[in-house]
């Protein structure tokens, strides 16, 4: 099936430090590609997979669930582990949720976590009805493209596939229930003006992670901050995070 422009996965073979980037729900690797290229230019090995059902049609995505997306991330994580001495995981929105799940499951094999406007709380009332709604309607209005910077667009679906969305509450509940397993350092970038994810997710992380957590605000960006005005600060801040927490030095190409 043809891919939407910009939806192809991205991989760069760099040094001993690997970074796995996780895009968001109904989004594509395009939303994180500049971040990945910035990290690659610093000498890192970067993997940015396309999650199953994303970047094609929302109808195809309706045939997938969160377990399929997470399995793809685990495959990419295992591949990085095979070539790198240590791996950091980073993600946007739902990708941030799954990055935290990787840290819960793989423990010290994940060196650190950076997430941008992570989604771990069901703050969309309609999703509460999704298990029933999926039998009535196939899709609802999409959430892609929440960007403040003029002239910038996100490649993603204009419709939200309801059957796929109905699997999200189980993932959120699982991640929240096991946040105590996240002992790695975590850096969160949070946009106070976010029209997709409400502040409750960051509040949960503050309560659960304590001193392991650092939160920085993106005051000039909306939800897709990795394509917005604060993107340069996110990119360079994530590099500083790696420099601080990696046990081996960065190697430039």
Looking at the annotation, which residues are catalytic?
93, 194, 223
- Torsion of Cα atoms, 24 then 29 then 31 then 34, to 10°: 140
Q: Are 223 and 25 in contact (CB under 8 A)?
A: no
For residue 47, give the nearest of 102, 6, 90 by alpha carbon: 90
Q: Are 91 and 23 in contact (CB under 8 A)?
A: yes
Residue 118 to residue 208: CA distance in whole angstroms: 14
Q: Are 21 and 95 in contact (CB under 8 A)?
A: yes
Q: Are 77 and 149 in contact (CB under 8 A)?
A: no
Residue 200 to residue 91: CA distance in whole angstroms: 18
Return all residues near 236 (Cβ < 8 A) that are at least 6 apart. Answer: 38
Q: Quick one: residue 117, left, alpha or beta (phi over 0 = left, psi -120 to 50 = alpha)?
A: left
Q: Are 115 and 100 in contact (CB under 8 A)?
A: yes
Q: Are 93 and 25 in contact (CB under 8 A)?
A: yes
For residue 141, give the nearest of 116, 153, 128, 124 by alpha carbon: 124
């Amino acid at each position: 099936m043809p891919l939407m422009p910009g939806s192809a996965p991205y991989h760069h073979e760099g040094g001993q430090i690997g970074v796995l980037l996780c895009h968001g729900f109904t989004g594509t690797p395009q939303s994180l590609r500049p971040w990945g290229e910035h990290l690659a230019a610093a000498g890192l090995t970067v993997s940015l997979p396309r999650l199953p059902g994303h970047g094609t049609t929302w109808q195809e995505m309706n045939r997938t669930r969160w377990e399929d997306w997470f399995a793809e991330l685990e495959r990419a994580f295992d591949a990085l582990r095979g070539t790198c001495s240590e791996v950091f995981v980073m993600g946007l929105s739902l990708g941030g949720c799954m990055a935290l799940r990787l840290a819960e499951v793989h423990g010290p094999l994940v060196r650190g976590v950076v997430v941008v406007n992570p989604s771990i709380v069901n703050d969309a009332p309609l999703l509460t009805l999704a298990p029933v709604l999926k039998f009535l309607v196939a899709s609802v209005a999409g959430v892609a493209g929440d960007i403040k910077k003029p002239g910038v667009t996100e490649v993603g679906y204009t419709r939200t596939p309801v059957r796929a969305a109905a699997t999200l509450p189980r993932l959120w509940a699982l991640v929240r229930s096991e946040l105590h397993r996240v002992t790695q350092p975590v850096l969160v970038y949070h946009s106070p003006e976010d029209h997709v994810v409400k502040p409750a997710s960051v509040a949960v992380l503050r309560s659960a992670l304590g001193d392991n957590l650092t939160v920085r605000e993106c005051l000039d960006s909306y939800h897709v901050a990795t394509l917005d005005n604060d993107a340069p600060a996110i990119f360079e801040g994530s590099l500083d995070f790696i420099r601080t927490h990696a046990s081996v030095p960065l190697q430039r190409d």
